[in-house]
Amino acid sequence: MIIRKPASRAPAALRQSAGEFFLFAIMMQLFDLKPYSGRCVCVAVSGGRDSVALLHYFRENAAAYAITLRALTCDHGLRGADSRADAAFVGRLCERWKIPLRVFRADVAQLAEQAGEGIEEAARNWRCACFREALAEGADVVVTAHHLDDYAETVLFRLARGTSLAGLNAFPDRPGIARPLLHVPRAVIDRYISEHALPYTEDATNADERFTRNRLRHTVLPALEEAVPKAAEHLVRFAERAAEDDAYLTSLALAQTEEKEGAVRVPLSLPDPLFSRACLAAMKRFGVEKDYTSANFSEFFKLRQLASGQRVSLKRGLCAAREGDDAVIYPRIPRFEGEVPFAVGKVTTCAFTLEAGEGEHPDALRVDLDAFPPGCVVRTRREGDVFTPYRGTQRTLKKFLTDRKIPARVSRSLPLIACGKVVYAVCGAEISDAVRITKHTVRRGYLFTPMRTPDHVYKGDFTMHPDCQRILLSEDVIAAKVKEAGKWLTEKFRGRHPVAVCNLKGSSMFFCDLVRATEVDLELDFMAVSSYGSETVSAGRPKITRHLFSSVEGKDVILVEDIVDTGRTLITLRNFFKDRGAKSVTVVALLDKPSRRIVESHADYTCFEVGDYFIVGYGLDYAEKYRNLPYIAVLKESVYEK
C-alpha cells in the first residue's frame, strides 16, 4: 500500500489550462446532491482517491443538505498487511473528519472456496452483504465511487470478450445502492483531489499491466481517447442505450412466457432475440444468475429440432424440454421411490408435499375420506397402475395422464393415493370415481399439493345433472372469479359511464352477475351472435342475429362473452363496434379455449381457461338445454353422439 500525502494546490497557470472541463470540480460541483437531501448516506470507502473524494464531497456539503453522513470499509483479507493498512488509513481519516465508520472484515478467499465461487464473485457478493447490513442499520442509501472511466473500461472489456446487450449494463440499479460519480470522469476526480490536497492510499497492483483491466486503464483507453476525443463518454452512452434496448426486448420476451406447474413455458416460435431473453429470464427465475454460457443457449435452440417430450440438461440441476410448441424450463425434481401410509395430515418427501384434511381447501381435490379402502399408501406412479377417473371408466394411469396432457416431468412426481395397483387419487389432477362426495358422505375432506392445481374443483356431485360427466367449475368458484372481474372493471372504468353489452344467450347468467359486481354507472344493451347453433364445435362463421337497441357511438363498450373459441366471433364483434364509432371496446370472457384458436384474438379479461371439452351450464347450452345449471360441467359424449 502506498499512502499519497496531501499535496499543495496546483499552480494557477495549471488550473487555468484545465479549462471549463474542470470548472465543476473547482466549484465543488461533482454531482447534484439534491437527491440525498435530508437522508442518511453511508459512503463505501476503500481509501483510494475516488472514494476519498466522494467522502470529502459529502462531508463538505452535509450541513447544507441536511445529510447524516456515515462510512463503511470492507477489508477482504486478500492482501495481508496491505489490506489491514488500508482499513487503518480509512479509520484514521474518518476519525479526523469525525465521520462514524463501520469496518467489515472477512477472509474472502475462504468464502470463495466454501461457496465454490471465483474470488471476484465472492468479494462482490460479500460487499453486497455488507451494504445490506449498513442499510439495515439505518442508512437510507450506500454510495460507491464508481466513475465514468470505470464504466467505460468495463464496457470496453466486455465488448472485447464478445458480450451481448445485457452484458453492457455494467452497473445495474440495485435497491439502496447509488453511484453518484458514474458520469464523472477520472480526470475531474483527480483534479478534485489536487484542489483539496486530499490524502489517499494506492494499491501497488493497480499499476501492474499484466492484469487486463490495468492495461485497459493505463494504455488502451488513453490511446482511444487521444484518437477519438470523449471516447469514454461515448462508450458509456452507448452502453446505456443498449441497456434500454435490452430492457425493452426483455419485456417483450417476458410477456410471451407463462409460469405454470413449477416451470416456465417459452414459445419456440419466438424470434431469436426474444427467445434467448425469455430462456435467460427462466434460468434466472430458478437461481442461475451468472453461470450460463453460450452453450446453454445452443441447448435451448436445439429444442426446436427435437420431438415433443425430449429434453436437454442445463446448469445447476435445470432441465429444458420440448412440450408441443413450447420450450419448458424447470428444476429437476428427485424421484420418490418409497411409500407412506395414507392418513389425514401432511406428508413431505424429496419430490412432493401432500396435505390431507377434513373440510375444504382452495385449489384442492375434494373427497369422501371414508371411501378410501384400508391399506392405501401415498406414492408416485408405477408401471401397471390403473385409474377410474371421476365419472369415467377404468383405464391405465398412463393413458389418463396422456389424455389430460400432464407432462412426464410433472406426472412422475405427483403424489398418488393407491392400494396395490389401483389408484384412488392423482393429487393435483383428479380423484377416482370411488372416492367422490355423494349424499351419503359423512367425512368430507381435501387433498392438496402445491405442485399442481386440479383440473376442476367441486363440492360434490349428488345434484349433478345425469347428462353431465363431471363438474368443471362449481358455483362458489365461479362466484369468486366473477367478483374479481367486477373489481377489475370497477377500477378500469372508475369515473366513466360505459355501456355493457351482453352477447345472448350464452353469457346471460355471467352478464347479470358481472354487472352487479361492477361498481360504476352502466348502460345495458343486448345483442346475439351465433357460431355453434346445435353443434358441439364452433362452425367458425359468426352471424349477428340480434342487433343493439341503442347507439354506441362515442361510448366505452364492455362486451361480455361466454367463451372465446376460434377467435373469429371476437374479431367480428370488435369490428362491429369499431364500425359504429365506439370509443373503446373491452372484452370480458367467462371462458377461453386456447386449444381451439384459429385466429389470434384474446379477451382483455378472462375468468377461466378450459380444455377442449363441450361444456354446459351457467348460461351455456347444448341444443338449448342445460343453461340453468348453476355450475359449469362437461357434457357426456353419449348425449351429443345420439
Task: Work out the average pLDDT over 137-161.
Answer: 92
d(CA 113, CA 495): 61
d(CA 557, CA 326): 35
Task: Work out the average pLDDT over 524-552.
Answer: 72
- Residue 117: pLDDT over 60: yes
User: Any idea which of 199-213, 241-255, 479-493 has the lowest mean pLDDT?
Assistant: 199-213
- Residue 26: pLDDT over 60: no
Three-state DSSP class for 579?
helix
- Residue 8: pLDDT over 50: no
Could you tell me if 504 and 528 are in contact, meaning their C-beta atoms sit under 8 angstroms apart? yes
d(CA 20, CA 25): 10
Each residue's pLDDT tens digit, 84-98: 999 999 999 999 999
d(CA 8, CA 114): 47
Residues 6+ apart with CB under 8 A from 341: 376, 377, 378
Cell of 451: 405442485
Please report the DSSP string for 349-373 in residue order: -SS-EEEEEES--TTSEEEEGGGSP
Residue 202: closest CA among 96, 42, 85, 77: 85
Residue 31: closest CA among 146, 174, 150: 146
Each residue's pLDDT tens digit, 301-351: 898 998 887 888 887 778 888 988 899 998 887 889 999 999 999 999 988
Q: List C-alpha distances in Å: 621 to 300, 465, 467, 635.
A: 44, 13, 12, 10
Residues 6+ apart with CB under 8 A from 419: 372, 373, 374, 375, 376, 377
Q: What mean pLDDT is reported for the chain?
A: 86
pLDDT of residue 169: 85
- Residue 14: pLDDT over 50: no
- Residue 496: pLDDT over 70: yes
Each residue's pLDDT tens digit, 539-598: 456 778 888 888 999 999 999 999 998 888 888 899 889 999 999 999 999 999 888 888
Which domains, from first to last, does the chain contain? 2-145+181-207 (3.40.50.620), 256-331 (3.30.465.60), 340-462 (no CATH), 477-640 (3.40.50.2020)
pLDDT of residue 642: 58
Q: List C-alpha distances in Å: 564 to 380, 506, 595, 604, 607.
A: 36, 12, 10, 11, 11
d(CA 420, CA 384): 10
Confidence class for position 613, pLDDT limits 50, 70, 90: confident
In 152-283 the beta strands, taken as DSSP E runs, fall at 177-178, 200-202, 258-260, 263-267
Task: Work out the average pLDDT over 226-246.
Answer: 91
pLDDT of residue 363: 79
Q: List C-alpha distances in Å: 521 to 250, 484, 625.
A: 39, 18, 33
d(CA 439, CA 437): 7
Residue 634: closest CA among 363, 389, 365: 389
User: How many other C-beta atoms can be found within 10 angstroms of the C-beta atom of residue 122?
Assistant: 21
pLDDT of residue 319: 87
Catalytically active residues, by annotation: 565
